[in-house]
Amino acid sequence: MSNSSGALAGLKVIDLSRVLGGPYGTMTLGDHGAEVIKVEPPQGDETRGWGPPFKDGTASYFIGVNRNKRALALDLTRPEGREVLLRLLKGADVLVENFKTGTMEKWGLGYDEVLAKQFPRLIHCRVSGFGSDGPLGGFPGYDAVVQAMSGMMSINGTPESGATRLGIPMVDLATGLNAVIAILMAVIERQKSGKGQFCDVTLYDTAVGLLHPQAANFFLSGKTPGRVGNAHPNISPYDKFKTSTGEVFLGIGNDRQFQRLCQLIGRTELPEDARFKTMADRNTNRAALTVELEKALSTRDGKALCDALLAEGVPAGQVLDIPAVMAHPHTIHRKMTVEGEGGYRAFGAPIKMSRSRSGVRSVPKKFGADNRTILAEAGYSTAEIDKLVSSGIVLDLPKAAPKA
């Protein structure tokens, strides 16, 4: 557990988001010291049930992106619940939500009409699939669907496999990080203007913004990018290769690195071959180069080869599975695995700063765990809190999800 206040200490965030994009972003803020109050609906964040595996009834999917947050369960579909939210926003810097576009406005909580007037310094960040306007405006968006619609799947996989989803929800995760960037930009701008603003962050925009270098290649060449498996469309050799002890990935970005690779594998003649002298040559003749490298690498020890290449400044690495990565000495050294109360284990915060520290200040909370404390801090009396709980505005236990 970390006792450091963090770079964002003093920033108060009301997090109404669920699933992944918003929660991943708000966890990042919480990792660096922001006070994050996660407000869940009566049924709870649906990812609590996205398992197995489970711990004490809560799925790993939820546990993985909801540390460093306080937990409040509130029914915002009722006017009394929205009054509680407005009370919380009086002391907040940031509101994050990912409701279907138009929901906040339907509830009388639209940014321009209500929130900006009542809370002029509030930064309202909305995470959505496609935004509120345009041909796809207002439509729901999930990571894999947006991967498909954005062209991301079309460039992932092999010619034989066809379009393939990335193995992690990259669009959701990157959208969460874009939300963090937008929020912090707005915080900096507020120091000059004294005003908050609305931040519009979408899965679709994020996915299209990740299409480098394929989009750049298309704009320049006019050719539709295809699927090249593990290879790179602009660099060669930049691919996965078999060794005698497993697979490795070589990322050869320039002629000097190629020369060093060839020296270490005993193929010093390859850089002098007219087919392989320059990057453009190697790209044009990548199939022939792959054949030569596969022969040279098939008898090599993968780890020893990668260690030798790295020592020579040549990017190379073994293809590892998740358990091996989490046990790797460098992962541990970089504090990219963390632990907390009750056997909590997770990946660490990837942003390191020289003075301000990130860390696990609190493990993911049970549903509604901080209801009474949060409401008391907002000025509610014990009797008022009891009434909110008894009337179902604030919930100590999740409601059953409505049947379809």
Question: Peptide bond before 329: cis, by omega within 30 degrees of 0?
Answer: no
- Cα–Cα dist 230/237, whole Å: 11
C-alpha torsion angle, residues 271, 275, 278, 280 (rounded to 10): -150
Of the candidates 288, 256, 249, which has an alpha carbon nearest to the alpha carbon of residue 271?
256
- Rg for the chain, CA atoms, rounded: 25
Helix (H) / strand (E) containing 10: none
Other beta carbons within 10 Å of 79? 10
> Quick check: 13 and 35 in contact, CB under 8 A?
yes
180/28 Cα distance (integer angstroms): 8
**What are 267's two structure tokens?**
């193929």
Tell which residue, 361, 367, 354, 351, has the closest CA to residue 28: 351
Q: Are strands 12-15 and 94-97 parallel, antiparallel or unpaired?
A: parallel
Paired tokens of 147: 């991967």
Asked whether the beta carbons of 58 and 48 are under 8 A apart, the reply is yes
Got the DSSP string for 165-178?
--SS-HHHHHHHHH
Choose, from 31, 75, 143, 172, the residue flagged as catalytic. Answer: 172
- Dihedral angle at the C-alpha atoms of 112, 116, 121, 127, nearest 10 degrees? -50
Residue 172 is a catalytic residue: yes
DSSP letters, 23-37, are HHHHHHHHHTT-EEE
Q: What is the rounded distance in angstroms from the CA atom of residue 59 to the CA atom of residue 140?
A: 23
- Residues designated catalytic: 172
